[in-house]
Amino acid sequence: MSNLILNNKTILVTGAAGFIGSFLCKRLLESYQGLNLVGLDCITDYYDVSLKDERLEMLRRVGEAGSSKKNSFTFIKADISDKSGLDSLFARYKPSIVVNLAAQAGVRYSITNPDSYIKSNMIGFYNILEACRATMESDNPVEHLVYASSSSVYGSNKKVPYSTDDKVDNPVSLYAATKKSNELFAHAYSKLYKIPSTGLRFFTVYGPMGRPDMAYFKFTNKLVKGEPIQIYNMGDMWRDFTYVDDIVTGIVNVMQKTPVETEDGALYKVYNIGNNKPSSLMNFVEILENCLIREGIISQPGKKELLPMQPGDVYQTYADVTELERDFGFKPSTSLEDGLSKFSAWYKNYYIK
C-alpha cells in the first residue's frame, strides 16, 4: 500500500448532497487543511430534496466555521451520466482523489424503475472511470479512486459472515447487479490503466439526516402518524446496521492508502464496511421505538403488520471486516442504542417543530 496525505489535496466527492457523501465532506472539512474539496450531485427528487438542501447548508456552515484551515468547498450541480460535463469538471479541477458515492440507491425501487440505475450506476460509473483514465498520462493523474459498492452484491448467500472472498455472481436485484458491475469495471480499468481503485461494500447505513426511503426512517414516520409499520418475512430478518460516522471513518481511512497490486497486476481492492454484529429486525424496531419514546416523539410502541418477504430482499446481511481491521486498525463499533438515539434526537429537532 502507498500512503496518501489528504492535506492540500484536490478531492472530488460525487453524491455530495447524499447521506454518506455529505457526512464525508463534513469530516474532510473538519479534519484536514488546505483542501480543495469539490462536491458534485445532480439533486434528483428520488426523495425529499429539502433534506439534500439541508445537508448542503450543513457543509456551508462547516466551511465557514473552519475557515482558518484554508479549505475550499465548491458544490457543482451536475450528473455523472453527462460525460462531457464530467470530463470538463476533471479538466478544470484536476482531482487527485476521487470518491464516487453518486448512485441510484434502493433495492425495491430498482424493480420498478430500472432505467435510473443503468443511467447512474452503469453509465455514470463508466464515465467516472473514463475521466480517471484520461488523467493517467497527465501531470496530475488520479492517485486513488474510491467508490461505493454494496452488501447487496452478496445476494442470498447462505454462508455468514459475508467475506469479500465469497462468490457474488447471483444478484437478486438489478441494484445489486449494477454494484457488482462497478467492481468488475473498476478491476478492468485498474489492470489496464493502473488506476488505483478501492471498492467499499456498505452494510445498511443509518443515522441523522439519512435517506427517507430506508426502513428505519419509514418506520419513524409511520410511528409518528400512529400508523402500523410493515415488517417483512414475518419479522425474521437480520441486518448488519452500520452507523454513518463509522462508514465515514472507514472511507477516510481507505482514501489514504492505495491498494497493493494483485497477482494479475491490478491496483485493486474491495472491503466490507459493516458493524459486524447483525441485529434482528424486531430488535432493531424495539430499540428505535424506545429511543423515540425517550425523545417524546411517540408515547408508546406502534402496531406491527407482519408480511411475507419482498422481491429483491435478502434474509440477512453480516459483514466480515477482518481485512478492514487488518489493513487500517479499524472496524465499525457504534451500538444501535447510540446510533438510533442520535437519529431520534435529530428527527425531533428537524421534524417535530
Residues identified as active-site = 175
Strand blocks (E) in 95-241: 97-100, 144-150, 197-202, 205-206, 229-232, 238-239
Residue given cell 446510533 in the structure block: 339
Answer whether 342's CB lies under 8 Å from 207's CB: yes
Q: Of 226, 233, 348, which Cα lies nearest the Cα of 291?
A: 348
SS3 (DSSP) at 41? strand
Take residue 226 and report the three cell numbers written for it.
Answer: 400512529
Spatial neighbors of 36 by CB under 8 A, at least 6 apart, are: 9, 10, 11, 71, 72, 74, 93
Beta strands in the chain (DSSP E): 2-3, 10-14, 36-41, 72-77, 97-100, 144-150, 197-202, 205-206, 229-232, 238-239, 242-243, 257-258, 268-273, 279-280, 304-307
Tell me which residue of 345, 209, 232 sits closest to 285, measured CA to CA. Answer: 232
Cα dist. 188→58, 135, 230, 256 in Å? 37, 16, 41, 22
In whole angstroms, what is the distance from residue 275 CA to residue 320 CA? 9
Cα within 13 Å of Cα(334), Cβ side? 22
Report d(CA 260, CA 267) in Å as an integer. 6
3-state secondary structure of 273: strand
Contact 216, 284 (CB under 8 A): yes
Distance CA 103, CA 124 (A): 8
